[in-house]
Amino acid sequence: MIFDKKHETMSVEEMRALQLERLRHIVRYAYDHVPFYKKKYDEAGFDPDSIRTLDDIRRIPFTVKSDLRDNYPYGLISTEKKNLMRIHASSGTSGKPTVVCYTKKDMKIWTECCARLAAAAGVRKSDIVQISFGYGLFTGALGMHQGCERLGAAIIPASAGNTERQVMLLKDLQATVLVCTPSYALYIGEMIEKLGYDIKDFKLRLGLFGSEASTEEMHREIARKLNIFTNDNYGLSEIIGPGVSGECSEKCGMHINEDHFYPEVLDPETFEPVPDGTYGELVLTTLTKEGMPVIRYRTKDITTLDHTPCKCGRTTVRMAKLRGRTDDMLIIRGVNVFPSQIEGVLMNMPEVGGQYEIVVTREGYMDKIEVKVEVADGSLLVDYDNLIKLREKIRHNLKTVLQLDAQVKLVEPLTLQRFEGKSKRVTDLRKL
């Protein structure tokens, strides 16, 4: 089902015209209402009225995460506080959180964007949706809650944590849709097995997963464990939260709600746009945000765009599954490694369970990478010959993909850390 036929299927020419009109307005609006933008644009000699074509966006200075932090908490809002309806914040590992604000109009748009992605994934009025993201300042739970509710579905606001209870709720309340991080979905799948349930006794049919990177292989593993159709969707607090983009049933990229969020993919070194099919850093501009417009935000997320038509009928541009973030790329002995590449290798091997950890160290001048891998079946560790064979096989497969020799450590099933929210799989102990 297409939630907003008008905007999701409009012709490319109409979309570009709408984006240009909105871009011109939002840039002027930000300049007039947020001293931060006025100062930045004046200093850069950028005239907010000089935008004639969409390509002119390239002359606008970027906004980066530290701009949000430096203007904590309300420095970037463009309206009086009395007009705000919701305030969220992204967790951040240290210091003050990044605060994001919504007016009533922003809330409506956010809800509709999440409804669009949920509809594209296959959520219907008749569904019972269990939201297992942590409720609170995090945008994931309430954003998806609002979107699914807008479609008329029934919501179970389970929040994250207490995984045995999650399983009980899923089963007893006959949830048909699960919303959480992909790593939590995998953990829930393991818990169902551990508790001795048969997945056939559940009514689950669909999973909406986002908020962290996940490979196709990981989705296949979740789909198998939970016997569901899986969906990937993307967003970030600074821009709106979930609702920036999501896969349709064709699963060939995530449709961007480009009438609200203008995407550019740039070479992270030259800042030149890269052609479709080439990966680069995603830069997003909110075209309609009223409470806190964010112009040319460098997301650090690495993806590529696809403007070819999609079989689903939507005409909106699609972004590929994220390859990672510019700041989670590891450079090991000069070789660029994304954790997602390691995940892709591991999840393709049936002998391996869903969990892994990557530890990077440096001895002298030599980087070392160790990959701890849970085996799918503990009996694989009993026979020494089998163990060595499996370890060598993983090492070989990693080397083929990464061009790098990694140490592999096999561990018992269910021994590595599990995650209820975003996972943390890499520990870099080098003092770089």
Which one of the spans 4-12, 13-21, 184-192, 233-241 is the region binding ligand DLL (CB under 6 A)?
233-241
In contact, 60 and 296? CB cutoff 8 Å: yes
> Looking up tokens 């979905």, which residue turns up?
185
- Could you say which residues in the range 200-229 bind ligand DLL, by CB under 6 A? 210-213
Query: Closest separation between CB of residue 321 and ligand DLL, Å?
Result: 7
Q: Is 63 in the site for ligand DLL (CB under 6 A)?
A: no
Q: Is 69 in the site for ligand DLL (CB under 6 A)?
A: no
- Number of residues lying near ligand DLL (CB under 6 A): 19
Query: Closest separation between CB of residue 412 and ligand DLL, Å?
Result: 29
Which one of the spans 63-71, 150-158, 232-240, 406-414 is the region binding ligand DLL (CB under 6 A)?
232-240
User: Which one-letter amino acid corresponds to residue 171?
Assistant: K
Q: Which two tokens stand for residue 365?
A: 């001048």
Q: Which residues contact 217 (CB under 8 A, 6 or more apart)?
A: 343, 344, 346, 347, 348
Task: List the one residue from 134, 140, 147, 353 that touches ligand DLL (CB under 6 A).
Answer: 140
Q: Is 303 in the site for ligand DLL (CB under 6 A)?
A: no
Show the binding pattern over residues 372-411: x = contacts ligand DLL (CB under 6 A), - = does not. ----------------------------------------
Q: Is 132 in the site for ligand DLL (CB under 6 A)?
A: no
When the beta carbons of 133 and 202 are compared against ligand DLL, the nearer one is: 133
Q: Is 159 in the site for ligand DLL (CB under 6 A)?
A: no
Which one of the spans 5-13, 105-113, 235-243, 408-416 is the region binding ligand DLL (CB under 6 A)?
235-243
- Could you say which residues in the range 317-356 bind ligand DLL, by CB under 6 A? 322, 325
When the beta carbons of 40 and 219 are compared against ligand DLL, the nearer one is: 219
Alpha-carbon distance 340 to 322, whole Å? Answer: 9
**Phi, psi angles (nearest 5°) of residue 318:** -115, 145
Task: List the one residue from 163, 176, 233, 286 that touches ligand DLL (CB under 6 A).
Answer: 233
User: Which one-letter amino acid corresponds to residue 195?
Assistant: L
Query: Closest separation between CB of residue 91 and ligand DLL, Å?
Result: 6
Alpha-carbon distance 228 to 231, whole Å? Answer: 10
Show the binding pattern over residues 75-94: x = contacts ligand DLL (CB under 6 A), - = does not. ---------------x----
Query: Closest separation between CB of residue 179 and ligand DLL, Å?
Result: 8
Task: List the one residue from 130, 132, 183, 237 that touches ligand DLL (CB under 6 A).
Answer: 237
Query: Closest separation between CB of residue 383 and ligand DLL, Å?
Result: 38
Q: Is 119 in the site for ligand DLL (CB under 6 A)?
A: no
Query: Closest separation between CB of residue 264 and ligand DLL, Å?
Result: 15
When the beta carbons of 100 and 375 are compared against ligand DLL, the nearer one is: 100
In contact, 124 and 147? CB cutoff 8 Å: no
When the beta carbons of 299 and 315 are compared against ligand DLL, the nearer one is: 299
Query: Closest separation between CB of residue 210 and ligand DLL, Å?
Result: 3
Residue 177, Ramachandran bin (φ over 0: left; ψ between -120 and 50: alpha; else beta)? beta
Task: List the one residue from 234, 261, 262, 356 that touches ligand DLL (CB under 6 A).
Answer: 234
When the beta carbons of 182 and 413 are compared against ligand DLL, the nearer one is: 182
When the beta carbons of 237 and 315 are compared against ligand DLL, the nearer one is: 237
When the beta carbons of 48 and 235 are compared against ligand DLL, the nearer one is: 235
Query: Closest separation between CB of residue 86 and ligand DLL, Å?
Result: 14
- Contact positions vs ligand DLL (CB under 6 A): 90, 139-140, 210-213, 232-237, 241-242, 299, 301, 322, 325
